[in-house]
Amino acid sequence: ALDARREASKAEFAAWAKTAAPSGQPQVDPAGLHLSAGFGEGQGASATVRLGEKDQVVKLTDKAKWVDGPHGGRAVETQGAACELPAAGDFEKDQPRTCAAWVKVPASESFGAIAARMDNDKNFRGWDFWMQRRQVGTHVIDAWPGNALKVVGAEQIPANQWVHDAVTYDGGAKASGVKIYYDGKPQATAVEADALTGSIRTSVPLKIGQRHNNQPFTGAIADLRIYQRVLSEIEIDALAGGSRFEQILATPVDKRSDAQTQELHTYWLQTQDKPYGQLQAELARLELELAKIPGPATTIAHVMQEKNSPAMAFVLYRGEYDKRRDQVSPDTPDVLPAFPEDYPRNRLGFARWLLLPDQPLTARVTVNRFWQEVFGTGIVKTAGDFGVMGQLPSHPELLDWLAVDFRESGWDVKRLFKQIVMSNTYRQSAVSTPEKIDKDPANRLLARGPRFRMDAEMVRDHALAASGLLVGRIGGPSVKPYQPPGVWEAIAMNVSNTRSYQRGAGDDLYRRSMYTFIKRMAPPASMDIFNAPNRETCTVQRERTDTPLQALVTLNDEQFVEAARHLAELALKTGGDSFDGRLQVISRRLLARDFRPAEKEIIQRSLDQLAKHYTENPDDAKKLIAVGESKADASLDGPTLAAWTMLCNQLMNLDEALNK
């Protein structure tokens, strides 16, 4: 309808454009001006602002001081709230608005609100005119971050100089309805949240210079205006002191460019054409009704909180939910230590009971799982069942000693793992004899060291560590390394904020696997193939399978091919010019030993074949060493690097490299 009105109004607009003179037209239509805080007084402890149709005097806080403003005027410099206006800015999400102000900020990376009506204590409900790292933007929030939108300018404003900033919001509750301007010029934007459906109304006052009780703005503010409509680009340019409007009108009609005509037409529609204004109001009403229609269900994480009254539970006849017998109350099994009378009968009390000195299970179960992590099998093989259906421990005295020592050391996990891996039991050779294998095939007597395929995370981390790519930094947010395309998109809802997988870059691609972002419905494909849990259910003991898909991952996955190339580069640059020297670098980093003569002969034949192939097919070599985000070392010969890359790839797939 808006496009149709634009088309139908061309004759009316053309008639107006022929007679319109620069001096006879208001560059910024005063319609919809909600708040104007010019801060032109330049002195005193108060300022006069215009709210709606009335002027009112507001008291300035001690955080505000007068400074020189833009174009010879005055401004307020603040490091927090300069003043508050309880009656201003009480907007709903469907109400369009424009926020504009002259702003001067220091060269800092600070965050703060130029103006805001936002309640931090209620999940940041409300809205703001925002500044972060010198990027201007806005939040419109029901509950952060799941029910909110946030848009900021992609570029920073200059530091220590006056810049006119403006943000328009069309009331459609979508990030696409937000536009940002610096000095009257539209800016590229970055969308950080776009899932607003609820109300943004809040009872806290509007504050100039910060949110309700946090995020103070540091800098100077002049001529702050808030309109209850979307200003046109011409109007925003005029607020910024531009002369685009006069330039267009001063240009003869027959010499105006198409872009100038379109811009002037938009200004005329938004400020002077009543039918267009009525259509805009109708569109806003319809968009509000549309927003009330329930969309696809989104995930809601409920906060765990104790109920005032305990939940009722009953013994049921034959397990049928509608045939109740006796009501029962929560309690611990009689065979275990009694629940202390002075403990609260809730989750806190239960946690304390689990750590009682005479509690026989907690420490035993914990150390058994850690033993299973290191040896592949727990002292009690059924790690998830210590009851009558589980297996008896292979070494009960050892389990008891480890449990008591773990508890008395203050539940020190690092100390326990250090004890285990430094023990003679763990450090003995995994080599066995036919007689031992015949008598103890599962190694339950621990007569030899453990040998089993590493977990999914260890397989990836070992490849990165051997190649020198692994980033050792500890802590920080989850990262998104390499993943085949389309994995998330295949199962995501249309409105999901994890519909598209945005791969990381730089160090994010080479961090430990424990930092990998996990989507439960679509876990990382390479780790899933190596039996990593999907996080949908608790997993006490992982499965360990051997499938052809696992070989395809370690042979072809981008992460592993790139790691092989880096290992090859290390060998070529640090192993000298000899085959033996280079191979020694690889074997010691990958297997922690040197290859035997018979093994070297096989490896040499393989390398010769690979070198011949890539010398004859240099395009194949270029494609191979281009795999991964990191760039191949340009100082190395391409076919040679490709041949050693494939050799490293083969060696990284040895059974010895993938098994402990």
Write the DSSP string, 260-298.
Answer: HHHHHHHHHHHHH-HHHHHHHHHHHHHHHHHHHS--S--
Better-scored residue on pLDDT, 202 or 251: 202
Handedness of CA 391, 396, 402, 405 (dihedral sign): positive
Reported as a single tens digit per residue, the pLDDT across 466-501 is 999 999 999 989 999 999 988 888 887 766 667 788
Q: Which amino acid would we find at residue 74?
A: R
pLDDT at 560 over 90: yes
Q: Taking residues 268-282, what's their average pLDDT?
A: 78
Neighbouring residues of 36: CB distance < 8 A, sequence distance ≥ 6: 49, 50, 223, 224, 225, 226
Q: What is the predicted pLDDT for the residue at 495?
A: 60
Question: What is the C-alpha to C-alpha distance for residues 464 and 449, in angstroms, rounded to an integer?
Answer: 25
pLDDT at 89 over 50: yes
CA angle 114, 106, 242 (to 5 degrees): 65
Q: Taking residues 361-384, what's their average pLDDT?
A: 94
pLDDT at 445 over 80: yes
Q: What is the predicted pLDDT for the residue at 297?
A: 47
Q: Taking residues 340-363, what's their average pLDDT?
A: 92
pLDDT at 287 over 80: no
Better-scored residue on pLDDT, 416 or 13: 416
Per-residue b/e over 438-464, b at no fewer than 16 CB within 10 Å? eeeeebeebebbbbebbbbbbbbbbbb
Better-scored residue on pLDDT, 297 or 603: 603
Q: Given pLDDT bands bounded at 50, 70 and 90, which one contains residue 278? A: confident
Q: How far is CA 258 from CA 185, 186, 254, 255, 262, in A?
A: 18, 18, 10, 9, 6
pLDDT at 29 over 80: no
Question: What is the C-alpha to C-alpha distance for residues 652 and 137, in angstroms, rounded to an integer?
Answer: 49
Question: What is the C-alpha to C-alpha distance for residues 379 and 377, in angstroms, rounded to an integer?
Answer: 7
Better-scored residue on pLDDT, 151 or 248: 151
Q: Taking residues 68-85, what's their average pLDDT?
A: 90
pLDDT at 20 over 80: no
Q: Given pLDDT bands bounded at 50, 70 and 90, which one contains residue 338? A: very high
> Domain 29-230 carries which CATH code?
2.60.120.200
Reported as a single tens digit per residue, the pLDDT across 171-181 is 888 999 999 99
Q: Given pLDDT bands bounded at 50, 70 and 90, which one contains residue 455? A: very high
The upper half-sphere exposure of residue 641, i.e. CA atoms within 13 Å in the direction of its Cβ, equals 27
Greatest distance between any 2 Cα atoms in the chain: 107
Q: What is the predicted pLDDT for the residue at 245?
A: 67
Q: Given pLDDT bands bounded at 50, 70 and 90, which one contains residue 293? A: low
pLDDT exceeding 90 applies to what percent of the chain?
57
CA 41 to chain centre: 45
Question: What is the C-alpha to C-alpha distance for residues 106 and 112, in angstroms, rounded to an integer?
Answer: 12
Tokens at 596, concatenated? 């035997």
pLDDT exceeding 70 applies to what percent of the chain?
94
Question: What is the C-alpha to C-alpha distance for residues 493 and 79, in angstroms, rounded to an integer?
Answer: 43
Q: Delimit the domains of the chain by residue range.
A: 1-28+243-291, 29-230, 314-354, 362-439, 454-660
Give the chain's mean pLDDT: 89
* Burial class of residue 565, CB neighbours in 10 A (0-12, 13-18, 19+): buried
Give the 3-state secondary structure of 59-122.
ECCCCEEEEECHHHCEEEEEECCCEEECCCCCCCCCCCEEEEEEEECCCCCCEEEEEEEEEHHH
Q: Which amino acid would we find at residue 16?
A: W
Q: What is the predicted pLDDT for the residue at 378?
A: 94
DSSP 387: S
